[in-house]
Amino acid sequence: MTLTRRELIAGTAAGIGATTLLRSAGTAAAAPASVDAARAAAVPVTTTLNINGRDLRVTHDIRTSLLDALREHLSLTGTKKGCDHGQCGACTVHIDGRTALSCLTLAVAARGHSITTIEGLAAAPGRLHPVQQAFIDKDGFQCGYCTPGQIMSSVACIKEGFADDAASIREFMSGNLCRCAAYPNIVAAIEQARPQGGA
């Protein structure tokens, strides 16, 4: 059987039309469930978060990340939003003393845990943490955008025993990207702060 060009085009158009009709019918049936789910998620919730030793209440969309809760709801803007996909380390905080990417952590999931941000790292107001001081002494930053996440990871690197040598430091810190490429200075800063044990 030989089709003319006109018959081929007409048949193709009819097939596309039928497929589109079937798809739109399925979408229409599924739409109410997805709309209900979106409405339920948009209902604000109130969460108490222990941040830098203080209990802070925050009202937010249940889908809010810890990063957005810190920056947008609590004005703790030291923690930076870099890639927002867990790939750059700029948003690193400590949860129960361990590093965590706040862009990948839901605020509601952080309830009942102790959260430390760059603002709460120093032991006393006006006194820098040894790692913060080392970053200044060794020029461990240039533009400074990634620095809070770098410092939070550096503290964990020392505390968790991964700062024995430069190779171990580089491996531990590999999840923290520095677009200015201050990596040798960051390693030097960690080595300077290592005797204090990340205290």
* Cβ proximity of 110 and 49 under 8 Å: yes
Residue 53 sits in the same domain as residue 84: yes
Query: Tokens 């209900």 sit at which residue?
Result: 36
Does the residue 25 lie in any domain? no
Q: In terms of pLDDT, which residue wins out, 175 or 12?
A: 175
Res. 11: pLDDT tops 70: no
Answering whether pTM is above 0.95, one says: no
Residue 116 sits in the same domain as residue 154: no
Q: What is the mean pLDDT of residues 66-91?
A: 97
Q: What is the mean pLDDT of residues 61-80?
A: 97
The per-residue pLDDT for range 19-54, each reduced to its tens digit, is 555 565 555 555 667 777 666 667 899 999 999 999
Residue 42 sits in the same domain as residue 95: yes
Q: In terms of pLDDT, which residue wins out, 3 or 141?
A: 141
Six token digits for residue 155: 């503290």
CATH of the domain at 136: 1.10.150.120
Specify the pLDDT at position 20.
53
* Domain hosting residue 141, numbered range: 121-199
Residue 148 sits in the same domain as residue 109: no
Specify the pLDDT at position 193.
97
Least confident span in 2-16, 130-144, 165-179, 182-196: 2-16
Residue 48 sits in the same domain as residue 61: yes
Does the residue 83 lie in any domain? yes
Q: What is the mean pLDDT of residues 160-174?
A: 97
Does the residue 166 lie in any domain? yes
Burial class (CB in 10 A: 0-12, 13-18, 19+), 73: middle
Please, what is the average pLDDT of the chain?
A: 89
Does the residue 19 lie in any domain? no
The per-residue pLDDT for range 111-161, each reduced to its tens digit, is 999 999 999 999 888 899 999 999 999 999 999 999 999 999 999 999 999
Band of residue 191 on the pLDDT scale cut at 50, 70, 90: very high
Specify the pLDDT at position 30.
58
Q: What is the mean pLDDT of residues 76-102?
A: 97
Six token digits for residue 132: 């913060």
Residue 188 sits in the same domain as residue 134: yes
Specify the pLDDT at position 14.
61
Q: What is the mean pLDDT of residues 72-90?
A: 97
Does the residue 21 lie in any domain? no
Distance CA 72, CA 70 (A): 6
Specify the pLDDT at position 196.
86
For CA atoms 139, 141, 143, 144, give the dihedral sign: negative
3-state helix, strand, coil split of the chain in percent (to 5) is 50, 15, 35
Query: For the chain, how many structural domains are there in total?
Result: 2
Residue 125 sits in the same domain as residue 182: yes
